[in-house]
Chain A
Amino acid sequence: MRVLDVRGEICPVPLVRCVNEIKNMKPGEVLKVISDHPPAKKSIPMEMEAQGHEYTIEEDGAEFTITIVVKGK
C-alpha cells in the first residue's frame, strides 16, 4: 500500500500528485491519499470515478483519507 500525504497542499496539487502516483501503480494496488483541503474531497473522487478506480472516503475532523484501489487493466 502506498501513502500520499498532501496535507497543507492546495488544489490542484493533491489531484495532480494523486494522478501521477496512480500512473506508476499496478492493478489491485492501494493508494491512501491524506488531505485537509476541502475541494480535493470532490476533485479526487471525481477523477477516480472517471478513471474507473474504486475508492472510499474517511473523514477525521478537517482531514480526510481517500483510499483508492487501482482498477485492473
Chain B
Amino acid sequence: MKENTKKYIPYIWLDDETGHPLMMNERCTIIFSETLSTLRLSLYKIIGEGSEMLLRLIGRDMGKKYAQLVLKQYPELNEVSKHTQIYELCSIILRNTGFGKIKILELDVTKPEMRAIIKDAPSGLGIKSLPPIYNLEAGMLCGILEEIFDREMVVSGYRFNESEDNYELTITKVE
C-alpha cells in the first residue's frame, strides 16, 4: 500500500488513565478481521445454523450503537437529507470499522427499504465451508437503519453474486 493512500481515523484514541482504546469516547476492542471469520466458523461448529441468526442479532446491536455514537459525535448528520444520512452512516460504519464496503443500489425512505451490496466483509474471510452469507454485517445495516428510522428493520432478501464476489441484500421495515 502506498503511504499517501493511508489516512488516520480521527476518533480512535488510547486513554492513558485507563489504558483502554476509545472509539468516539466509548471503550472499544480492536481485533483482527480474521478473528471474526474464525468466530463465525467456531460458532457454527458448536451450535449449528442458529449461529447465523445470533450473528445477525449481534450485528444489529453493533450497528445501532455505532449509529448512535456517530450521530452524537457529528450532530450535523442529523441535518442532512435522509438519503445522505443513510449513505454516510452505512458507508462510514462499515468502511471505517473494517466491516466491508457498501454500495446502495436502491433506497426508498418512505417505505423504508434499502437494496445494497456488501463487499470485503470480514465474515467471509477464508471460509469456504460455510455459505457466503454475511449476517453480522447485514445485522449491522439493520441496526443502523433502525436507529435512523426508529423502527424495526429486517433482511427480507439476499443472494451472493459469485461472479462479482459480493453479497446483495434487501432490508425493509417489519410489518
Chain B residues at the A interface, C-beta cutoff of 8 Å: 4-5, 7, 9-10, 70, 74, 76-77, 79-81, 83-84, 87-88, 91-92, 95-96
CA distance A52 to B46 in the complex (A): 54
Total contacts A to B, CB within 8 angstroms? 53
CA distance A73 to B96 in the complex (A): 36
Q: How far is the CB of A21 from chain B (nearest CB, A)?
A: 11
Contacts A15-B88, A39-B92, A50-B83 given; 6 further ones with Cβ under 8 A? A10-B9, A11-B96, A13-B10, A16-B77, A46-B81, A62-B5
Q: Which range holds the interface residue count of chain A?
A: 10 to 19
CA distance A19 to B106 in the complex (A): 24
CA distance A9 to B76 in the complex (A): 16
Would you call A47 an interface residue if the criterion is a C-beta within 8 Å of the partner chain's C-beta atoms? yes
A16-B10 contact in complex given A11-B91, A50-B80, C-beta closer than 8 Å: no
Residues of chain B within 8 A (CB-CB) of A11 are: 88, 91-92, 95-96
A10-B81 contact in complex given A16-B76, A42-B87, A46-B87, C-beta closer than 8 Å: no
A10 touches B83 (CB 8 A): no
CA distance A12 to B92 in the complex (A): 7
Tell me the nearest residue of chain B to A47, going by C-beta: B84
A9-B91 contact in complex given A50-B80, A50-B81, A50-B84, C-beta closer than 8 Å: no
Tell me which of A8, A20, A43, A51 contacts B88 (CB under 8 A). A43
Q: How far is the CB of A63 from chain B (nearest CB, A)?
A: 10
A15-B10 contact in complex given A39-B91, A43-B91, C-beta closer than 8 Å: no
B92 touches A47 (CB 8 A): no
B10 touches A10 (CB 8 A): yes
CA distance A8 to B70 in the complex (A): 19
Would you call A71 an interface residue if the criterion is a C-beta within 8 Å of the partner chain's C-beta atoms? no
A8-B84 contact in complex given A39-B91, A43-B91, C-beta closer than 8 Å: no
**Quick one: which of B4, B70, B88 has the most chain A CB within 10 A?**
B88
A47-B81 contact in complex given A12-B74, A15-B88, A16-B76, C-beta closer than 8 Å: yes
Residues of chain B within 8 A (CB-CB) of A37 are: 7
Tell me which of B76, B92, B95 contacts A20 (CB under 8 A). B76
